[in-house]
């Protein structure tokens, strides 16, 4: 079946945005947003797993919010990874409970690496009792990832927005997952570095677990990534940010509360949270899991070197890499529209 046939016409989407438009009335829909593909019914939803190092940089929290607010997705599992994964699970659990999505299972991933740093949102959950959480939490997140993939009647999109020890462990334990997964990730730096530097550099998600990255980047699955070349350019300010800030919904409030706690714990001026976001790298992986028309992608052989770089190598596995923005502004507007819209997958669950 042609996938495009399963989606609502653009005019219906535009009408839906007018009728159900977010915290505030949606006044305009950009040309690019109009071209969005939205599932016509819940049967067309894409089954996804999110693997996240939430609590390190704050962008994972924004990405999780975007995921929850995107009706294209049927979120089957969220796994936490790196460091104190139980602490990260606690933050995911509180967010899901806050927005009424405890139907989504959580898997606590491999506790590996530094257990103390990179946990900048602990203050947000200091009074949250995980033992009273009503949803399902799998203590072995890697096995939960494997079981979710292997038991799924449909292919799964695995969205990985951090280092890759969970994904590598899952591949090593059950290599057959590669046959059922499309991988979408925020990893690497190919022609540009942090802060739009003109040279690539060692990107955190890759360099912090190099062998795991090599395992994932050579697995026999379809791969799409947003390296720093594109994801490093995303941030919100001005009217876009104001719309998000003024929304006052459970999901936007959860993001902004976490942003303030995160800023404070990292000695960043908390007032920044009142005027602009930090760089929202991981949101681009969520976008790439559903569409890529606002980006230019290149099919490149990518090799993860032993010192943690992502080099173009014609002999390496071909990966679809988002290398340039066609319209970054349209993406940022789409991001805000998603975050501030009440139309999310929760509606399909009868809320
Ligand atoms: Ca991340």
The structural domains of the chain, with segments of one domain joined by +, span: 44-349
Chain segment 190-233, per-residue pLDDT in tens: 999 999 899 999 999 999 999 999 999 999 999 999 999 999 99
Chain segment 247-259, per-residue pLDDT in tens: 999 999 999 999 9
Number of neighbouring beta carbons within 10 Å of residue 211: 13
pLDDT of residue 269: 83
Partners of 302 in beta bridges: 312
With CA atoms as reference, report the closest residue to 144 among 61, 83, 78. 78
Distance from the alpha carbon of residue 117 to the mean position of ligand 1, in angstroms: 14
With CA atoms as reference, report the closest residue to 236 among 295, 270, 281. 281
Q: How many residues does the chain have?
A: 351
Distance CA 314, CA 48 (A): 30
Q: Give backbone dihedrals phi and psi of 197, rounded to 5 degrees, phi first.
A: -55, 145
Distance from the alpha carbon of residue 57 to the mean position of ligand 1, in angstroms: 6
Q: Are strands 295-304 and 310-312 parallel, antiparallel or unpaired?
A: antiparallel
pLDDT of residue 22: 53
Distance from the alpha carbon of residue 82 to the mean position of ligand 1, in angstroms: 10
Distance from the alpha carbon of residue 214 to the mean position of ligand 1, in angstroms: 18
Please give the full DSSP string across 2-67, using - where no structure is assigned. -GGGGB--HHHHHHHHHHH--SS------HHHHT---BSSGGGPEEEEEEE-TTSSTHHHHHHHHH
Q: Domain 44-349 adopts which CATH fold?
A: Inosine-uridine Nucleoside N-ribohydrolase; Chain A (3.90.245)
Distance from the alpha carbon of residue 296 to the mean position of ligand 1, in angstroms: 22
Any residues with CB less than 8 A from the CB of 196 and at least 6 apart, and which? Answer: 232, 233
Distance from the alpha carbon of residue 44 to the mean position of ligand 1, in angstroms: 27
Alpha helices in 247-282 (DSSP H): 250-265
Distance from the alpha carbon of residue 262 to the mean position of ligand 1, in angstroms: 14
With CA atoms as reference, report the closest residue to 177 among 206, 156, 159. 156
pLDDT of residue 316: 98
Distance from the alpha carbon of residue 56 to the mean position of ligand 1, in angstroms: 7
Which ranges of the chain have pLDDT less than 70?
A: 1-43, 343-351
Distance from the alpha carbon of residue 251 to the mean position of ligand 1, in angstroms: 18
Distance from the alpha carbon of residue 161 to the mean position of ligand 1, in angstroms: 4
Distance from the alpha carbon of residue 131 to the mean position of ligand 1, in angstroms: 25
With CA atoms as reference, report the closest residue to 93 among 117, 63, 129, 62. 129
Distance from the alpha carbon of residue 16 to the mean position of ligand 1, in angstroms: 32
Longest Cα–Cα distance in the chain: 53
pLDDT of residue 116: 82
Any residues with CB less than 8 A from the CB of 175 and at least 6 apart, and which? Answer: 219
Nearest 5°: CA angle at 220, between 215 and 223? 85
Contact 36, 291 (CB under 8 A): yes
Q: Are strands 295-304 and 318-325 parallel, antiparallel or unpaired?
A: antiparallel
Contact 231, 281 (CB under 8 A): yes
Distance from the alpha carbon of residue 236 to the mean position of ligand 1, in angstroms: 17
Distance from the alpha carbon of residue 26 to the mean position of ligand 1, in angstroms: 30
pLDDT of residue 184: 98
pLDDT of residue 43: 53
């Amino acid at each position: 079946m042609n996938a495009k046939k399963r989606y609502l016409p653009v005019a219906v989407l535009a009408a839906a945005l007018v009728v159900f438009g977010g915290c505030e009335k949606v006044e305009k829909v950009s040309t690019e947003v109009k071209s969005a593909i939205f599932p016509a019914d819940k049967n067309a939803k894409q089954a996804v797993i999110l693997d996240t190092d939430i609590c390190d940089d704050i962008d994972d929290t924004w990405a999780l919010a975007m995921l929850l607010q995107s009706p294209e997705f049927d979120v089957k599992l969220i796994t936490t990874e790196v460091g104190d994964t139980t602490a990260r699970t606690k933050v995911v659990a509180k967010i899901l409970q806050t927005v009424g999505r405890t139907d989504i299972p959580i898997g606590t991933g491999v506790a590996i690496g530094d257990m103390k740093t990179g946990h900048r949102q602990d203050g947000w959950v200091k009074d949250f009792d995980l033992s009273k959480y009503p949803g399902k939490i799998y203590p072995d997140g890697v096995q939960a990832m494997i079981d979710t993939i292997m038991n799924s009647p449909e292919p799964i999109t695995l969205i990985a927005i951090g280092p890759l020890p969970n994904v590598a462990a899952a591949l090593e334990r059950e290599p057959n997952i590669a046959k059922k997964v499309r991988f979408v990730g925020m990893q690497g730096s190919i022609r540009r570095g942090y802060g739009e530097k003109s040279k690539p550099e060692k990107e955190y998600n890759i360099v912090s677990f190099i062998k795991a990255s090599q395992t994932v980047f050579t697995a026999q699955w379809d791969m799409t990534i947003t390296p720093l070349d594109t994801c490093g350019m995303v941030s919100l300010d001005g009217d876009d940010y104001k719309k998000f800030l003024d929304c006052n919904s459970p999901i936007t409030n959860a993001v902004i509360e976490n942003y303030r706690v995160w800023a404070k714990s990292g000695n960043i001026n908390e007032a920044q949270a009142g005027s602009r976001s930090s760089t929202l790298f991981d949101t681009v992986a969520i976008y790439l899991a559903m569409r890529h028309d606002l980006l230019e992608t290149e099919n490149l052989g990518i090799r993860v070197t032993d010192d943690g770089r992502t080099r173009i190598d014609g002999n390496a596995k071909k990966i679809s890499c988002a290398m340039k923005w066609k319209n970054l502004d349209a993406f940022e507007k789409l991001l805000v529209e998603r975050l501030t819209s009440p139309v999310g997958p929760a509606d399909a669950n009868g809320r």
